[in-house]
Amino acid sequence: MRDPLHTVLCTVGTSLLGHILPSDGRPSALPQAAEPWHRGDLDAVVRAVAGLPADDRRTGAELQSVHDLVARGYARPDARVELFHSATPDGRAVARVVAGVLRGRGHPVEVHEVEHLQDDDPKRFRSKGLRNLAKLLCRSVRAWGAAGTGIDATGGYKAQIAVAVVIGQALGVPVFYRHERFSEIIAFPPLPVSLDYGLWMRWSGLLEALDRGEWVRWLDVADDWEPPLEPMIERVALEEAEFLDLSPVGQVFHEVLRPRFRTDRDRLLPPPA
């Protein structure tokens, strides 16, 4: 069994709002938080939510899942928590409330806004938002170490769960999820899988160009194309031509293997003349 996690990377949604705001004719389940929410007093909302028992489902899925990780010994009571929220007003506000409650429970907290992660533009959500989430999660795992880091993918858009599981398998970190109706959190442990480093080496130039946002035409690479690249690259039709873009899976593939090349560079490349 692994030692308890020292760092939890937590995606943030708006489940807390479902309890604060009235819905479908039902009154607020947290009237003590609803009034300050409407007037924009988030500090008062933090106090109202923090006043509830830690296992009260009205605190929302994110706070429930972190509490469950600690209660079941998956994470240390003082584990660092990094929150990743959408680029929306509600996402920012809920993340601020969740952060305030967690700090009150003794967790160091850092908050990240994921650029382009929003539901107004589905194409931008897929092509940029999920990729940015993958970048941030991969970089945080590398910063804090895979051995003591886990991903809590409870909050946020459903597509984030798939991205988190891929990252977990690629980097060897556990991924956790808890639906508000579940009695406990569930874990997706890392599997003994590996990424194709040779494939990355052959296509690293293309992947790096796409990561920088450069336009690459499909016709320029079609003759050399390899089928394993299909889930990593998306084709976008623009002005009667097809261009390439990284998919969220491709972003994970690139983020995971690029640092390995930097580590191996001195061994793989000849010394300067």
pLDDT at position 169: 85
What's the mean pLDDT in 37-55? 96
| Domain ranges (residues) in the chain | 5-188, 197-268
> Which of 90-125 are b and which e, b meaning 16 or more Cβ less than 10 Å from the residue's Cβ?
ebebbbbbbbbbbeebebebeebbbbbbbeeeeebb
Rounded (10°) angle between helices 158-171 and 248-268: 20
pLDDT at position 24: 75
Task: Give the pLDDT confidence of 89-148 residue by residue, as tens digits.
Answer: 999 999 999 999 999 999 999 999 999 999 899 889 988 999 999 999 999 999 999 999
Pick the CATH number of 5-188 from 3.30.420.10, 3.40.50.720, 1.10.8.640, 3.40.50.10770: 3.40.50.10770
**82 pLDDT higher than 90:** yes
pLDDT at position 170: 87
Q: What is 197-268's CATH topology? A: Arc Repressor Mutant, subunit A (1.10.10)
